[in-house]
Every structure is written in C-alpha cells, then in structure tokens.
Amino acid sequence: SDLQKQEERGELLQPLIFILLVLCSVLLYFKVSLMDPGFVKSEEEAGKSEEQSMVIPQVASDIKMRRCGYCMVKQPMRAKHCQLCQHCVRRYDHHCPWIENCIGEKNHPFFIIYLSVQLVVLLWGGHVAWSGLYFEQSWDWLQHNIFLLVSFLLIVIFTIVVLLLLISHLYLISCNTTTWEFMSHHRISYLRHSELENPFDQGVVLNLWRFFC
C-alpha cells in the first residue's frame, strides 16, 4: 500500500517526530502550569538567614527577612507575593497569564524547556505552511489559500514572541537575575543596598549550571 511505501522511504518519520514534539509541548505546558512554582510555606521560615548570607555575602548585613503583608509568612530573599496566586513564590520571576501560574524556583527550568520545544514546533510548522504556499495575484488564489496564509502569519507572530521571550529569559538566567529583579531593581531592598549591581551573579557558566542542574 501507499502507507507501506512511504514508511519504507522514511517519509513517515518526520510527521511522527513533529507529532511527538507537539505532544511533548502540550505535556510541558500542563506540567509548568499545574506544578508548584516554589510557594513559600510556614515551615520554611527557619534557617534561611544563614543560607542567604552564605550565598550572597555582598548584601548588606542589616537587611532582614520581612514578613509578607498578605499571607504573613517570612519571605526568603528573592521571594515575592503574587496576588493572583495568593502565595509568596521563591525566586519569583513573573506570573505568566498564558499558563495561569507563577514562574518561580521550581518550574522556571521547565518553562525554558517548554519555550524551546514550542519554538521548534513553530519553526517547523512555519516551514510546512510556507512550503505549501505559491503566490498568484488573483482573487481566486486568495480564496483557496486564505486559511493557509492566515495560519502562516499567525505562526510567524507567535514565533517572534516565543523567540524574544526565550532570548530574554536566557539572558537573565545567564546573569542570575529574574524578570522581577530586573524590572524592579530600584524597589528591592536587598538589591538597592547591595555594594554590587547584581550580587547573585557568579559568572555565566556557573549561573547556567546552577539554574539547569
């Protein structure tokens, strides 16, 4: 049959890989959106001051852990309260409206992997859509290709958004900072009173290693 001939020629391998990538992207989406991003719990209050002083000795010693005015837990350094999630999140990066969850200490690496897989899927889908387009200056051509053309334009827009988001996050990770710290540097006490602009930066290689490993 034609299906067997296509299998023998290896023509079914690429669609199979594409479907697996899409499935992987969907599973990563649900994992990032449903998992605990690093919510601060009351039992985590003890023993954080010593840990913080070992990690960032450049931060001024008079900065103390403050109690959150919303959930009343003591916030570890780099934690922030999210009013949408109603929790303080450790190493808070941002609240993502697309996944309806915070990006924090526990799910940030999975978020980066999700963006990477999503970018591959979009680039592949864009290539397939482009290969199916042949341009003619006629109304009849537009009627028959409008769906494919709109799909290609949407893929291009989403690809640009995902690419810029991935690049910005990788840059911040390489500096060992978060979106929240980058955007609100002047309002965060442990950064405002630090002798260094970024007291968490330990070099690109070590920053990436500690984040992903």
Q: Is 88 a catalytic residue?
A: no
Marked catalytic residue, from 24, 71, 85, 96:
96
Contacts of 35 (CB under 8 A, 6+ apart): 101, 106, 107, 110
Q: CB of 50 within 8 A of CB of 79? A: no
Among 97, 98, 109, 99, CA closest to 38: 109
> What is the Cα 125 distance to its own chain's centre?
21
DSSP class of residue 67 equals B
Burial class (CB in 10 A: 0-12, 13-18, 19+), 173: buried
CA distance 123 to 115: 12
The residues assigned a catalytic role are 96
